[in-house]
Chains A and B, each alone.
Chain A
Amino acid sequence: MVTPPAGTLDRRAVVAQLLRGRGEMLVVSGLGSPSYDVHAAGDHDGNYYLWGAMGAAALVGLGLAQAQPGRKVLVITGDGEMLMGLGGLATIAVAGPANLVIVVLDNGHYGETGMQRSHTGFGLDLADIARAAGFAQTAILRDMDAVAALADTLAAAASGPRLYVVKIAAAATARSLPPRDGVHGKNRLRAHLGLNVS
């Protein structure tokens, strides 16, 4: 595989841009830096932060999107986390939820463990994989104008699930730590939706 050009975007700026007008949107974040990025953009009762269960983020998003068809669900995760749940792209494509958007913050590296290169860092194209699986729309975003344009369309109607790869810089960022208690996050989101918390 040909080594792709390195991403340059600031991950915090990307996530802040995506969430600036989130409205009713629900957000699931993958473990590690994506959870910190979503928290740094402003804690919200409509967020569910994963701290583990690598590979879960997109599929938690699928279950949530199917249960809440009237709301948009945005999954924000990293390339390594998405790669661990790669088969989930097939499952999501078959299920076809039009209210699910996956954004992969792709720095081509496993950032939590010492910046070892990931498959995308060796050239694998997650947007191509999602497109081949049957996602309604996929793209690779390399500049903030494209991110701003995506933010404007997150709430728009779609014909199926969408996946966007945002090429971010492989730089360390300060941690912005959401609560680690998975029960708290669950009950908080359910209360936000007007559901019984147990």
Chain B
Amino acid sequence: MDRQAGADSGPPGMDAAADWPLAVYRILRAEQVRQVSYVPDAGHARLISLLRQDPEMACHVLTTEEEGVAIAAGAWLGGQRSVVLMQSSGVGNCINMLSLATVGRFPLLMLVTMRGEWAEFNPWQVPMGRAGEPALAAIGIRTLRAETPADLVASVAAAARLAFAADQQMAVIIAQRLLGEKQW
């Protein structure tokens, strides 16, 4: 049987961590996520591909990230769980829309790939790389930061449980160091 990382299955093994997009995909499946929203990021490319290949996942490509926050609220109203994928630059686009999640106490699971914080070549990525986590904290979103693949897999499982079982608004911050330097 395939290894499956979940909140109750203990620390994920090395093979799960080595292919973290697959491990994260399996967590989302196990948590019965059915709607996926994303503005693409290179760091999310494999996860997006896995999700799009799954006929049970309704995948929404967004024009701007805050749309995903609203879709997640609507999905929950209708009885479905949702995940929102974005890059750190998209966090800034979301801020006012996140009031919907916090005021309505809507379960929210965001997976944020970071730019502008580790071996970044593009100065335009730096401001939201710096402001992303403080901005999320200021609006009332709890963040779990992952620096290694194993940490990421465990954090997604924990955040999914906090979101969908405990009605929390969660963002897993995926460190740029984990994703690797963007080749340019």
Contacts and interface: CB of A to CB of B under 8 A. Distances in A.
Check if A and B associate. yes
B106 interface: yes
Contacts of A55: 66, 70, 97
A55 B99 CA distance: 12
Interface stretch (A8-16, A83-91, A140-148): A83-91
Given A63-B77, A68-B78, A186-B105, A91 B35 contact: no
A186 B77 contact: yes
A52 B95 CA distance: 12
B63 interface: yes
Interface in A32-49: 48
B34 A67 contact: yes
A153 interface: no
B100 A50 contact: yes
Nearest to B64: A87
B79 A53 contact: no
Contacts of A57: 70
Interface in B57-92: 58, 60-64, 66-67, 69-80, 82
Interface string B29-60: 00000110000000000000000000000101
B183 interface: no
Nearest to B59: A95
Contact of B70 (A56, A186, A190): A56
A193 B76 CA distance: 11
Contacts of B9: none
Given A53-B96, A53-B97, A63-B82, A91 B62 contact: yes
B167 interface: yes
A56 B100 contact: yes
Contact of A63 (B73, B96, B167): B73
A66 B96 contact: no
B64 to A, nearest CB: 5
A60 B34 contact: no
Contacts of A50: 100
Contacts of A54: 96
A64 interface: yes
B97 A62 contact: no
Contact of A56 (B64, B76, B78, B97): B97
B104 interface: yes
Contacts of A59: 67, 70-71, 74
A151 interface: no
B80 A67 contact: yes
A26 B100 CA distance: 18
Contacts of A62: 60, 70-71, 74
A178 interface: no
Interface string A147-163: 00000000000000000
B103 interface: yes
B100 A63 contact: no
Interface string A172-198: 000000000011011001100101001
B103 A87 contact: no
Contacts of A65: 74, 78
Q: Which 5 pairs of residues, A with B, have the shortest CB-CB distance?
A: A63-B74, A67-B78, A87-B63, A182-B104, A59-B70
Given A64-B78, A91-B62, A94-B61, 18 more contacts: A54-B96, A60-B100, A62-B70, A63-B74, A63-B76, A64-B77, A65-B78, A67-B75, A68-B79, A87-B67, A91-B67, A91-B71, A182-B103, A182-B104, A182-B105, A186-B104, A190-B79, A193-B78
5 contacts: A48-B77, A53-B96, A56-B97, A59-B71, A63-B73
